[in-house]
Amino acid sequence: MRSSSDGLRVRIGVRAANADRNAAHFGYDRGATIYTHTTDIGPPFAQKVISTNGREALHVIDALCSHETDLDIHEHYTDTHGYTTHVFALCAFLGFRFAPRISDLLEQCLYTIGRPADYGPFNALLKGRANTRVITRNWDQAARVAASIRHGTVSAALIQRKLAAYPLQNQFAQELHEIGQIEKTIHTLELLRDEQMRHRIERGLNKGELVNSVGRALFIGQRGEFRDRVIQDQVRRAGCLNLLIAAIAAWTTAYLGDAIAAVEAEGVEIPEEYRAHISPIAWEHVHLLGWHHFDPTAARSLDERRPLRSGIDYEDAGDDEASVAT
């Protein structure tokens, strides 16, 4: 399974210790970031409230290793702000295929193992050789740290933050940097030669953006503002937000099956390859404002669905013919 991660900027309307200034996102106000991990099938599976001025890459790995679900993630996408060479290296140790979108791809520097040969047009991109002696000398330590991260003994964000503070004095930090340069070189070359991979990364990141857009729509009547001073309360609110998004996705998924069956009953064929791109993340059918009362004793199951809307002209609906489930 594949996943992606991205940040949702949220204003903090009260005095809070973790409220940061960022004119690009909040103007004169302060705020934080909800960093969310999203599956390729739609719903989010992990979230974390972080500093809006901090590097998002520090928080990529923790959610992949400790998401407390049955998801088997093997490939993960981020934007340019979501990667560092340390993330590349740790993902390689932990068994994840890390595939970020890299801006200015043709300006990236490539590294070789051993003496570089003549690579033709790629010679202009070659910067140097990876220091394999540093890698060999500290390999066992890196394996132990990766095992500690995998089993939750230590936080990957904490390790990377400490390594970034003393990158030249720490042999382990240098080793991760060298391994990360090798992994980044391999990934850059694959991006240059594999158009399908570039499209796959863009699709994964677009699904994360879609989840963020739903979050903005749901977040307190589209105001998108924290009113909690304590970060623990903000974390609970962010978790409730993602729970709502996941509930909407689950309910919409059930209706999508009915909608596809109804459309095909009208003689409109939806190819199998198109169905994989129909996302259950939608909110046009949700009442965003008002009071919602829930009675646990009269809970409705997914099998008790309302009938679909009738009278839809599928020829006029165009590409949206499969999204009229609710």
Is residue 101 a part of any domain in this protein?
Answer: yes
Question: What is the distance between the alpha carbons of residues 197 and 202, in angstroms, rounded to a whole number?
Answer: 9
pLDDT digits (tens, 9 = 90+) for 154-166: 899 998 888 877 7
Is residue 291 a part of any domain in this protein?
Answer: no
What is the total count of domains within the chain? 1
pLDDT recorded at residue 302:
63
Is residue 99 a part of any domain in this protein?
Answer: yes
Q: Which of 43-57, 86-100, 116-130 has the lowest mean pLDDT?
A: 116-130
Is residue 32 a part of any domain in this protein?
Answer: yes
pLDDT recorded at residue 169:
65
Is residue 133 a part of any domain in this protein?
Answer: yes
Is residue 88 a part of any domain in this protein?
Answer: yes
Residues spanned by the domain of 184: 2-214
Fill in the amino acid letter for 304.
Answer: E
Whether the pLDDT of residue 321 is over 60: the answer is no
Count CB atoms within 10 A of the CB of residue 320: 10
Whether the pLDDT of residue 317 is over 70: the answer is no
Q: Is 296 exposed, middle or buried (0-12, 13-18, 19+ CB in 10 A)?
A: exposed
Whether the pLDDT of residue 32 is over 90: the answer is yes
Q: Are 18 and 32 in contact (CB under 8 A)?
A: yes
Per the structure block, which two tokens stand in for 253? 């998924």
Q: Are 101 and 79 in contact (CB under 8 A)?
A: yes
Is residue 36 a part of any domain in this protein?
Answer: yes
pLDDT digits (tens, 9 = 90+) for 212-253: 888 888 876 556 788 889 999 999 999 998 898 988 888 888
pLDDT recorded at residue 186:
93
